[in-house]
Structure 1
Amino acid sequence: MAEEQNTDNNAEQNDEQEGKGGKKKKLILFGVIGLVLVATVVLALWLFGGSSSSEQAVTQAPEQASKDFSNASAPEIGNALYVGMPRPFVFIVPGDSRERTVQIKAQLMVRGEENEELAKKHIPLIEGTLHEVFSSSTADKLKTAEGKGQLRELALTEVRNALQEVAGKPVVEQVLFTSLVMQ
């Protein structure tokens, strides 16, 4: 008789534990389903949603700027596209106490698909020009933001000059450093 009561008590305890465990499992399942639904809605809105007020402001700003500055020389109109250099530039520059190794990853900003194709076509010329400009710098210049800015401007000028000779137009609007590491 005592054994039957122990068995009944154990069965009741197991049922209670399963009930608690089952509630936890259901709660976790509903939480996961809720997260999936929220993620799906956010993704659908992002993919198929209309333009927001900030996007409308961005599209209206260039029109207003062109009206305000109609007398000023405007840059070439077109989509800004980026042409990445296939390899980072690695070179050695003289430093104050020792030579430093520098690695620069760069991209070119161009306007319009025609300029993008021209830039891609002349990648070897652009790489050679950038390598000459970068390796002529010093570690002291590359340590400061002003020195990096001057290097970008010099690189832009030299790339534009090289492309002007070959392609008949400057093609590149900006030279951008996506990474600069000096050791």
Structure 2
Amino acid sequence: MLKKLTLGLLLLSLSLVTAAQEKEEEVEGSIYIPMQPPFVVNYGGAGRLKYLKTELTLRVNDVHTAAAARHHMPLLRNAMVMLFSRQSEESITTQEGIAQLRETAKSEIIALLESEQGEADVLEVYFNDLIVQK
């Protein structure tokens, strides 16, 4: 009786693990990963202090990239802090400058994830919020 019960529990646990793996692989569409908490950095170099506050969300295409982004979030956040602090006033006060900053952020995130994981299917980087104090 104990052997049957043990075998039954083993089969049940294997079926649950298999179902969980299939469910993970069945995710279709984009996965959105917020980079929390918001970024608050000084920018603009010498002179009067200027602040930038922003919230970012990554849009990735698969669960492997999502897991890699979550795992390497401290590395990604550090890169974004460094990127935002290097900005000049001109680069974040125009629509073209903000679009370029978004593309640069995406490129840096992809490069970091590829160096750590080998591949990265990051589709977009979105600014949920962008506040600049001059």
Into which bin does the TM-score normalised by the smaller protein fall? Answer: 0.7 to 0.9
Question: Which runs of structure 2 are paired with 1:29-108 in the superposition (5 Å)?
Answer: 78-94=28-44, 98-108=48-58
Q: 2:90 aligns with which of 120, 137, 140?
A: 140
What is aligned with 2:73?
A: 123
- Superposed CA RMSD in Å reads 1.8
State which structure, 1 or 2, has the greater radius of gyration over its C-alpha atoms: 1
TM-score (norm. length: structure 1): 0.54
Q: Which runs of 5+ in 1 are unaligned?
A: 1-77
Structure number with the higher strand fraction is: 2
CA distance in 1, matches of 2:99, 2:87: 12
How do 1:154-165 residues align onto structure 2 when only pairs under 5 Å count? 154-165=104-115
More helix by share: 1
Give TM-score scaled by structure 2 length: 0.72
CA contact (8 A) 1:163 1:171 kept: no
Q: Residue by residue, what CA displacement relative to the aligned partner does 1:10-41 show, whole Å, maximum 9, x if unpaired?
A: xxxxxxxxxxxxxxxxxxxxxxxxxxxxxxxx
Partner of 1:27: none
- For residues 115 and 170 of structure 1, the distance between their equivalents in structure 2, rounded to whole angstroms, comes to 6
Matched with 1:44 is none
Distance in 1 (CA, whole Å) between partners of 2:125 and 2:81 is 13
**Identical-residue share of aligned pairs (%):** 30
The structure with higher relative contact order (CA 8 Å, sep 6+) is 2
